[in-house]
């Protein structure tokens, strides 16, 4: 049975007769034809497209009022996106998606309802449960998944400077002239000290190359105790 969690933190298990079967993975390769030559030439970075999929099936109860109540409950739940969609209730990976409608087909004078809910995951990756790791000095972090993860890094206390490196990716974050608890969001590219934005204090290489955790063993070195928070990702 499909498990859903909406933006309010509410959880819903869809009826057993609802299914989530076709899971697309669309890869875009930008290209340009060359005059007088066969084929195309690649013109940019290969990227993953948004995922569009459908939750569909029937809702059937002997009591017609129960069907209407179930429909009202599902539609009301979906009005608080984004929705974490798990293919089965016991799975620990989800797509964060937005509903794009709810096609209803009533059968047998209202004794059965066929429901089709198209969804779009703007972020095409499957995500796992949040992981939080305390790091001091040099430590190895074992990261699950098949795709790079982008962590949020927070110092345990106030710092005036901070350097964090990952030997696996050869990427480094350097913060200078800080004053307070530093928080670095490697996905949204934000840096704060005691909640005050201070992007100007970070090294330029981080702005260009970023900072990732790759699947496998990541050797992290830090000049101050930090907390690394991330979600493993899968293609």
1: three-class secondary structure by DSSP: coil
Convert the pLDDT of each residue in 206-229 to its tens digit. Answer: 999 999 999 999 999 999 999 999
Using alpha carbons, select from 5, 21, 24 the residue that is nearest to residue 13. Answer: 5
Which fold, 3-125?
A: Elongation Factor Tu (Ef-tu); domain 3 (2.40.30)
The topology (CATH level 3) of 128-234 is Jelly Rolls (2.60.120)
Q: Is the peptide bond before 5 cis (omega within 30 degrees of 0)?
A: no
Q: What is the pLDDT of residue 17?
A: 94
Q: Are strands 131-143 and 216-230 parallel, antiparallel or unpaired?
A: antiparallel
Taking phi first (over 0 means left), then psi (-120 to 50 degrees means alpha), and beta for anything else, what does residue 108 get? left
Site of tokens 């074992």: 142
pLDDT at 62 exceeding the cut of 90: no
In the chain, where the domains are located: 3-125, 128-234
Q: Which residues contact 91 (CB under 8 A, 6 or more apart)?
A: 3
pLDDT, tens digit, for every residue of 141-170?
Answer: 999 999 999 999 999 999 999 999 999 999
| Residue 66 CB contacts under 8 Å (≥ 6 apart), including other chains | none
pLDDT by residue (tens digit) across 28-43? Answer: 999 999 888 999 999 9
CB within 8 A of 221, min separation 6: which ones?
137, 138, 164, 165, 167
pLDDT bracket for residue 63 (50, 70, 90):
confident
């Amino acid at each position: 049975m499909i498990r859903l969690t909406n933006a309010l933190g509410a959880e819903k298990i869809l009826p057993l007769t609802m299914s989530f079967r076709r899971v697309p993975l669309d890869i875009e390769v930008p290209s340009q034809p060359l005059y007088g030559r066969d084929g195309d030439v690649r013109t940019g970075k290969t990227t993953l497209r948004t995922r569009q999929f459908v939750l569909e099936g029937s809702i059937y109860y002997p009591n017609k009022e129960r069907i209407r109540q179930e429909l009202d409950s599902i539609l009301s739940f979906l009005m608080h996106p984004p929705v974490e969609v798990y293919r089965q209730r016991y799975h620990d990976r989800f797509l964060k998606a937005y509903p794009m409608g709810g096609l209803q087909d009533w059968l047998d004078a209202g004794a059965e309802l066929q429901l089709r809910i198209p969804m779009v995951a703007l972020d095409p990756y499957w995500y796992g449960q949040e992981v939080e790791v305390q790091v001091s000095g040099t430590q190895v972090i074992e990261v699950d998944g098949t795709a790079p993860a982008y962590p949020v890094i927070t110092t345990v206390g106030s710092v005036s400077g901070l350097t964090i490196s990952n030997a696996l990716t050869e990427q480094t974050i350097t913060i200078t002239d800080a004053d307070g608890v530093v928080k670095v969001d490697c996905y949204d590219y934000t840096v704060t000290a005691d909640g005050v934005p201070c992007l100007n204090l970070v090294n330029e290489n981080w702005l260009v190359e970023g900072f990732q955790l790759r699947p496998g063993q990541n050797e992290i070195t830090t000049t101050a105790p930090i907390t690394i928070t991330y979600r493993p990702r899968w293609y």
